[in-house]
Chain A
Amino acid sequence: MSSWQEGRRPLTIAILAMGGEGGGVLADWIVAVGEQAGYYAQTTSVAGVAQRTGATVYYVELYPGGGRPARAGDARRQPVLSLFPAPGEVDVVIASELMEAGRAIQRGFATPDRTTLIASTNRVYSMDEKLALGDGRVDSNTLLAAAHAAGRRFIGADFMQLALEAGSVVSAALFGALAGSGALPFEREPFEDAIRASGKGVEASLRAFAAGFEAARQPAPKPIEPAPAGAGPVPVTISRRRPVDAAEEAAEQAERRREEVAASQPTALVGPQLHGRATLVAERFPAPARSMLLHGVVRTAVYQNPAYTDRYLERVERLAAVDTGADNRLTREAARHVALWMCYQDTIQVALQKIRRKRLDGVRAEAKAAPGQLMNVREYLHPQVEEIADTLPTRLGRWVADSAWFGRLVGRLTRNGMIVNTTGIIGFTMLWAMAMFRPLRPRSYRFAREQAAIDAWLDRAVAVAPVDYDLACEIVETHRVLKGYGETHQHSVESFTKLMDAADALVGEAEAAATLARLRQAALADEDGSTLTRELAALTLAA
């Protein structure tokens, strides 16, 4: 039996954080707590000063009874402590964020036999997660499941949120969680003393500490169980990924409540002038699609007028007529994507979005403005010739789009963009005036093009549905690639066209739907469409 196995070993604590998150301060606090309890403390890091926002490990060892005089014959007067966490030998792992917890697990620091794993369940997305044109986020649920499996104990909460609410930084909330976890043999007081002694932002840190302390005593959030396959119609999900994000979860719950209302009292989900359409939705469409349809009904009416809503419902009905799926996926997705496409983002729509009261209230909330506090909101706009042409009546728009002279003029005027103060009289009036162009929209250059494209897209889906239901669904969902403004939008239209051509070629093929879904992912992998081109080429080769 070695001394190590007999427990004559230091407490070992690894902190995984990103540069600038206060991991070093957290390590120093832990040292202070340890030292006041008579432990011999050592801490080190590879922080460097250049490690901005990079992943970093801080490491603390606390040797019990460190103050004891060396025994005669001891090789060293002070305990010899390690500068590296040894995989499998770490008592406490503190991760500032969920992916960093994943990293701790991957590196063998957090192990089921020993480690108390304390992790903030929020996500700070890595660059490659943020860069994707679509959704590049990794599955948080996988990380959460790993955290539960990889620690002897897992203490998880959104410590970042708790810290923000307290006006502090995540390290203070995590320090509270460490105290609350009871993983270290110290009372709460010395932890708080350590914060007080550090003398900076003490009050806020103590508030975050207290919140973290309490949160650590609650059970950690569980990963969401995958829905059992084949259990009848599944409720509408916001996304197919099962999220752990609190906001996302709340949104899903709201959506479930909405579905109930959509079934029992559809008119409650729309304004008074749309009650008739809501009743129509309840009569003509399958239950799983109704909530989404009611969203679409409202959106198209606000975007243009109730007649436009009728056009929307007619379009979705074409798909509903050929929908043979048990869960009405085709109708649901059509309800979503037809509305989104019909409400494409033109300058009129953007202007309307900018001047809505709820939007300005939202901006105030995000800026944490106190009630009545003065705030100005400035928009960074950059109207392009194409966008101006798009808004004008068809003939004028076409002339403008083709006019080199006008193009140069607008180009010069807007080259460096314009800043509009929405909270100012001139700025607001400008945007308001732009929004008032709405009645002219149906005669605009872009409107006709969009409607034709929408119908062509739906024709294709309707034709394919009897042959290959899943492929029809994928065709509808391919609308997801249409996004962005200006050049980004132009690229997305190109990708969309390629995907539709591919869909035509795929009809009748085995795995057609899966292939189209993969191609859609490829289209969202980069902006210049090179991944899609590559995938398409590979497909042709294989054929």
Chain B
Amino acid sequence: MAERSFAHEVKKLREGAGTTFAGEGILAVTKALLQSGVAYVGGYQGAPISHLMDVLGDAHEILEELDVYFENSASEATAAAMMAASVNYPLRGAITFKSTVGTNVAADALANLASGGVRGGALVIVGEDYGEGSSIMQERSHAFAMKSQMWLLDPRPNVEAIVNAVEAGFELSEASNTPVMLQLRLRSCHLYGSFTAKDNVRPPMTVKDAVENPSRQLDRIVLPPASFLHEKEKLEDRWPAAVEFIRSRGLNEVIGAGTADVGIIVQGGVYNTLNRAMELLGCSDAFGNTTVPTYVMNVTYPVVDSEILDFVADKRAVLLVEEGQPDYIEQSLNTILRRAGSEVILHGKDLLPVGGEYTAAAVTRGLHAFLSKHLPAAVSAKPSLLLPKTDPASPFAPRVDAEVVRARPPGLCTGCPERPIFSALKLAEKQTGKQHHVSADIGCHLFAINEPFNLGATTMGYGLGSAGAAALNSKDADRRTVAVMGDGGFWHNGLTSGVGNAVFNQSDQMLVVVDNAYSAATGGQDVLSSRADSQLRSTKHPIERAVRGIGVTWAKTIANTYDIAKLRDVFVDALTTPSSGPKVVVAQSECMLNKERREKPLRKQAMQSGKRVVKERFGVDAETCTGDHACIRVSGCPSLSVKPNPDPMRTDPVATVLDSCVGCGVCGANAHAASLCPSFYRSDLVHNPSWRDKTLARLRRAWIGLMSAGVERRAARYEMVEELA
């Protein structure tokens, strides 16, 4: 069950020619695929393209009607290998994943695919996770396009342009027998806009047709001598064919031609930002009517030499706006210009930032530097962001004490079942008196590296938590290494790369598999071990069975991670048992975000229909709390916060539980397992009580009233009457 349902939005996918289709960039891409007659689609979720997978999942009915095959691939490598279907058959296929991490995983299959080339259009849609809000290392997908020779589309951030790029991408792929990558930057994926729809197209050849008419061409298989032939084809046939297609279709654009003798070359994905910079400097307007000629590279690989040379022919100087590093395009342009003996001055990362996201401010500064040097007349305005920080009119003039604006990194949600796992791990370390090297993985559990847990030393890639601890395996050490892996990473590759490897190499590590029933960090997509029934997929395959199947002998499944004391004991056991080989602890509890999404409406419904419902939440007695916040230091729950001390005698803020509490029980379990303090309580509010509840309550009220009367009478002798308080 994905975190967000697109069931409502997918209805739009049926819309026919002429209707205006409004929505997120991702939804538009799906529609474009259907309009292009795609025959099969696969992929692996991950921000920023998770929603694309979710939309496709929710659109399965439409896909089935059109005979489009869709699968949630086990990994990006699986997805890429799936494109083999386009090698021998004229099937259009598309896959999607986040880049560059997904592209790394897929690299082997992509290289093989690109070597043999394709017959049917093959489109790899990559969600470029680069810049602000990114969760991965900062690298460019561009390198993959170059090294395997796949064409790279980088359409300008406009929903219509993106839709056109999908359609053109298939054609380009077929015209040049080359797989095409469509790069969607983070902000473009979540971009809202509209375009005019076309009818969906049923693939002329379906997957069924292909299966029933098997075909093979020996020279498409990557094995010598064919592989040498492929390299020759790439250079002599496919590249020129691609250049010809790009030129004739005008995929790259020149705007403002002839308005000046300097120019700008920009990646399509950065075009909007460039135009905004131009507007701020007074050399363009909202409709892109620039007074500085601009060459927009909606295809960033291959670079079309002749177009570049045409563009610079009448220019003194050009500025290349190329986001990220290395400066692949800049290097390429320098080669092109030098070979052609061009005199034009090429600026790029000498005036623009060498690395990092090209924000409006960064591009405006670079463009201002360029125009000031070569075309000062074009600059008719000076936005305040160009002012030095010391100028009081600068937007960056210090207006707030930097000390009071603290970092706010993402963390585990309220009620997250992973929190108690790390609390328990800390307690286990306390009990054994030993700290461990913790090899972390990709997933929500990686947030444990931050406060308050501070657990985790490295993260080497998705599913590689166990493998990341492989070298730190010593028979002579007095302790074990700890590795963490999520269920997502486990099925992605961790079972083989990590667990299998640890068994084979007799690693002594303790591996904690965080099994929250979904690929939760990417939005709650199902995995093999998901515990819900799925109409579309086969689920309920326990992780423990898998690890035992691969040779693990010490494996334990804890079905309730909120039982911190139990989990702590299992960890201590795993860290100290004399048993050899990897110790695998599968820590299970459902992702609270998904669980709440499912159960909250049901609870509400039950409450309204008169059924007995108990609503639990935690609280802290402000009187009993001494304001030491030890509870926060072992938990870090967003719902566990501080508030001003209601006691006029005391000054330090006390702990408090916010209304967002879902009553997961971690507070209480921590209070117990960590011997915290007696301030925590759980209140169980009963809706629609039964007669048994009511009778018991009457009895209790009477008894408690009797018992407390003396206590209150005594206090009343000393305490003032409340009204005066």
Complex Cα spacing A377 to B621, Å: 12
Nearest residue (CB) in B for A383 is B678
Q: Please determine whether A74 and B288 come into contact, CB atoms closer than 8 angstroms.
A: yes
One of A53-61, A173-181, A209-217, A506-514 at the interface = A53-61
User: Does A340 touch B at the CB level, under 8 Å?
Assistant: yes
Query: Given A8, A134, A298, A364, which contacts B719 in the complex, CB threshold below 8 Å?
Result: A298
Chain B proximity mask over A470-485: 1 for CB below 8 Å, otherwise 0: 0000000000100111
Q: Please determine whether A382 and B672 come into contact, CB atoms closer than 8 angstroms.
A: yes
User: Does A314 touch B at the CB level, under 8 Å?
Assistant: no
Complex Cα spacing A42 to B290, Å: 21
Q: Please determine whether A86 and B361 come into contact, CB atoms closer than 8 angstroms.
A: yes
Inter-chain contacts of B273 with A (CB < 8 A): 82-84
Inter-chain contacts of A352 with B (CB < 8 A): 711
Q: Please determine whether A435 and B283 come into contact, CB atoms closer than 8 angstroms.
A: no
Inter-chain contacts of B593 with A (CB < 8 A): 52
Query: Given B192, B275, B405, B686, which contacts A374 in the complex, CB threshold below 8 Å?
Result: B686
Interface residue ranges of A90-132 to B (CB < 8 Å):
99, 102-103, 105-106, 108-109, 111-113, 124-132
User: Does A534 touch B at the CB level, under 8 Å?
Assistant: no
Complex Cα spacing A79 to B633, Å: 50
Q: Please determine whether B717 and A272 come into contact, CB atoms closer than 8 angstroms.
A: yes
Complex Cα spacing A75 to B289, Å: 5
User: Does B64 touch A at the CB level, under 8 Å?
Assistant: no
Q: Please determine whether A425 and B700 come into contact, CB atoms closer than 8 angstroms.
A: yes
Query: Given B157, B361, B628, B703, which contacts A428 in the complex, CB threshold below 8 Å?
Result: B703
Inter-chain contacts of B707 with A (CB < 8 A): 355, 428-429, 432
Complex Cα spacing A83 to B184, Å: 13
Q: Please determine whether B685 and A271 come into contact, CB atoms closer than 8 angstroms.
A: no
Inter-chain contacts of A306 with B (CB < 8 A): 718
The distance from the CB of B684 to the nearest CB of chain A, in whole angstroms, is 4
Q: Please determine whether A50 and B521 come into contact, CB atoms closer than 8 angstroms.
A: yes
Inter-chain contacts of A146 with B (CB < 8 A): 399-401, 404
Q: Please determine whether A416 and B399 come into contact, CB atoms closer than 8 angstroms.
A: no
User: Does A401 touch B at the CB level, under 8 Å?
Assistant: no
Instruction: Give how many A residues have a beta carbon under 8 Å from the other chain's beta carbons.
Output: 157
User: Does A191 touch B at the CB level, under 8 Å?
Assistant: no
Query: Given B160, B255, B684, B719, which contacts A302 in the complex, CB threshold below 8 Å?
Result: B719
Interface residue ranges of B167-223 to A (CB < 8 Å):
186-188, 190-193
Q: With A130-B641, A247-B644 given, is the CB distance from A99 to B521 under 8 Å?
A: no
User: Does B632 touch A at the CB level, under 8 Å?
Assistant: yes
The distance from the CB of B462 to the nearest CB of chain A, in whole angstroms, is 12
Inter-chain contacts of B403 with A (CB < 8 A): 138
Query: Given A45, A51, A125, A251, which contacts B648 in the complex, CB threshold below 8 Å?
Result: A251
Chain B proximity mask over A264-291: 1 for CB below 8 Å, otherwise 0: 0000111111100000000000000000
Q: Please determine whether B686 and A3 come into contact, CB atoms closer than 8 angstroms.
A: no
Complex Cα spacing A5 to B379, Å: 13
Inter-chain contacts of A109 with B (CB < 8 A): 395
Instruction: Give how many B residues have a beta carbon under 8 Å from the other chain's beta carbons.
Output: 145
Chain A CB count within 10 A is highest, among B396, B653, B676, for B653
Query: Given B186, B395, B699, B708, which contacts A88 in the complex, CB threshold below 8 Å?
Result: B395
Query: Given A19, A74, A105, A376, which contacts B289 in the complex, CB threshold below 8 Å?
Result: A74
Query: Given B47, B452, B680, which contacts A127 in the complex, CB threshold below 8 Å?
Result: B452
User: Does B536 touch A at the CB level, under 8 Å?
Assistant: no
Query: Given B404, B523, B649, which contacts A49 in the complex, CB threshold below 8 Å?
Result: B523
Q: With A54-B409, A432-B707, A488-B630 given, is the CB distance from A382 to B689 under 8 Å?
A: no
Q: Please determine whether B381 and A87 come into contact, CB atoms closer than 8 angstroms.
A: no
Interface residue ranges of B628-656 to A (CB < 8 Å):
628-630, 632-633, 636, 638, 640-646, 648-653
Q: Please determine whether B396 and A80 come into contact, CB atoms closer than 8 angstroms.
A: no
Query: Given A130, A271, A432, which contacts B717 in the complex, CB threshold below 8 Å?
Result: A271
Complex Cα spacing A424 to B304, Å: 80
User: Does B505 touch A at the CB level, under 8 Å?
Assistant: no
Q: With A4-B280, A271-B719, A488-B628 given, is the CB distance from A47 to B623 under 8 Å?
A: no
Nearest residue (CB) in A for B670 is A380
Q: Please determine whether A75 and B381 come into contact, CB atoms closer than 8 angstroms.
A: no
Query: Given A19, A135, A377, which contacts B651 in the complex, CB threshold below 8 Å?
Result: A135
Q: Please determine whether B644 and A245 come into contact, CB atoms closer than 8 angstroms.
A: yes
The distance from the CB of A300 to the nearest CB of chain B, in whole angstroms, is 9
Chain B CB count within 10 A is highest, among A45, A82, A354, A527, for A82
Query: Given A5, A149, A423, which contacts B282 in the complex, CB threshold below 8 Å?
Result: A5
Inter-chain contacts of B565 with A (CB < 8 A): 415-417
The distance from the CB of A519 to the nearest CB of chain B, in whole angstroms, is 17
Q: With A31-B192, A46-B186, A484-B628 given, is the CB distance from A51 to B133 under 8 Å?
A: yes
Query: Given B51, B621, B652, B672, which contacts A480 in the complex, CB threshold below 8 Å?
Result: B652
Chain B proximity mask over A439-467: 1 for CB below 8 Å, otherwise 0: 00000000000000000000000000000
Q: Please determine whether A271 and B648 come into contact, CB atoms closer than 8 angstroms.
A: no
Q: With A46-B187, A133-B629 given, is the CB distance from A52 to B192 under 8 Å?
A: no
Q: Please determine whether B617 and A367 come into contact, CB atoms closer than 8 angstroms.
A: yes
Q: Please determine whether B629 and A271 come into contact, CB atoms closer than 8 angstroms.
A: no
Inter-chain contacts of A357 with B (CB < 8 A): 708, 712
Inter-chain contacts of A63 with B (CB < 8 A): 286
Inter-chain contacts of A485 with B (CB < 8 A): 626, 675-678
Q: Please determine whether A106 and B405 come into contact, CB atoms closer than 8 angstroms.
A: yes
Q: Please determine whether A380 and B680 come into contact, CB atoms closer than 8 angstroms.
A: yes
The distance from the CB of B133 to the nearest CB of chain A, in whole angstroms, is 3
User: Does A187 touch B at the CB level, under 8 Å?
Assistant: no
Interface residue ranges of B431-480 to A (CB < 8 Å):
444, 447, 450-452
User: Does B350 touch A at the CB level, under 8 Å?
Assistant: no
Query: Given B131, B191, B289, B677, which contacts A486 in the complex, CB threshold below 8 Å?
Result: B677
Complex Cα spacing A82 to B188, Å: 11
User: Does A261 touch B at the CB level, under 8 Å?
Assistant: yes
Q: With A43-B192, A247-B644, A292-B649 given, is the CB distance from A86 to B630 under 8 Å?
A: no
User: Does A356 touch B at the CB level, under 8 Å?
Assistant: yes
Chain A proximity mask over B698-712: 1 for CB below 8 Å, otherwise 0: 011001100110011
Q: Please determine whether B623 and A353 come into contact, CB atoms closer than 8 angstroms.
A: yes
User: Does A379 touch B at the CB level, under 8 Å?
Assistant: yes
Complex Cα spacing A157 to B680, Å: 31
Complex Cα spacing A3 to B725, Å: 63
User: Does A235 touch B at the CB level, under 8 Å?
Assistant: no
Inter-chain contacts of B360 with A (CB < 8 A): 82, 84-87, 89
Inter-chain contacts of A417 with B (CB < 8 A): 565, 671-673, 675
Inter-chain contacts of B712 with A (CB < 8 A): 356-357
User: Does B538 touch A at the CB level, under 8 Å?
Assistant: no
Chain A CB count within 10 A is highest, among B617, B683, B707, for B683
Nearest residue (CB) in B for A246 is B644
User: Does A10 touch B at the CB level, under 8 Å?
Assistant: yes
Q: Please determine whether A73 and B289 come into contact, CB atoms closer than 8 angstroms.
A: yes
User: Does B279 touch A at the CB level, under 8 Å?
Assistant: yes
User: Does A311 touch B at the CB level, under 8 Å?
Assistant: no
Complex Cα spacing A239 to B412, Å: 32
User: Does B330 touch A at the CB level, under 8 Å?
Assistant: no
Q: Please determine whether A44 and B632 come into contact, CB atoms closer than 8 angstroms.
A: no
Q: Please determine whether B192 and A47 come into contact, CB atoms closer than 8 angstroms.
A: no
User: Does B384 touch A at the CB level, under 8 Å?
Assistant: yes
13 contacts between A and B (CB under 8 A): A4-B381, A9-B279, A41-B192, A45-B190, A46-B131, A52-B410, A75-B290, A86-B276, A86-B360, A131-B633, A146-B400, A251-B646, A373-B685
The 3 closest A-B pairs by CB, nearest first: A417-B672, A46-B133, A2-B282
Interface set of B (CB-CB < 8 Å, partner A) = 3, 47-48, 50-51, 129, 131-135, 157-158, 160, 186-188, 190-193, 255-256, 271-273, 275-276, 279-283, 285-290, 359-361, 364, 380-381, 383-385, 393-396, 399-413, 444, 447, 450-452, 521-523, 565, 593, 615, 617, 619, 621, 623-624, 626-630, 632-633, 636, 638, 640-646, 648-653, 659, 667-668, 671-673, 675-678, 680-687, 689, 693-694, 697, 699-700, 703-704, 707-708, 711-712, 714-720, 722, 724-725
Known contacts A137-B642, A428-B707; 10 further A-B pairs (Cβ under 8 A):
A42-B193, A54-B409, A80-B286, A83-B157, A108-B394, A128-B406, A298-B720, A357-B712, A377-B683, A435-B711
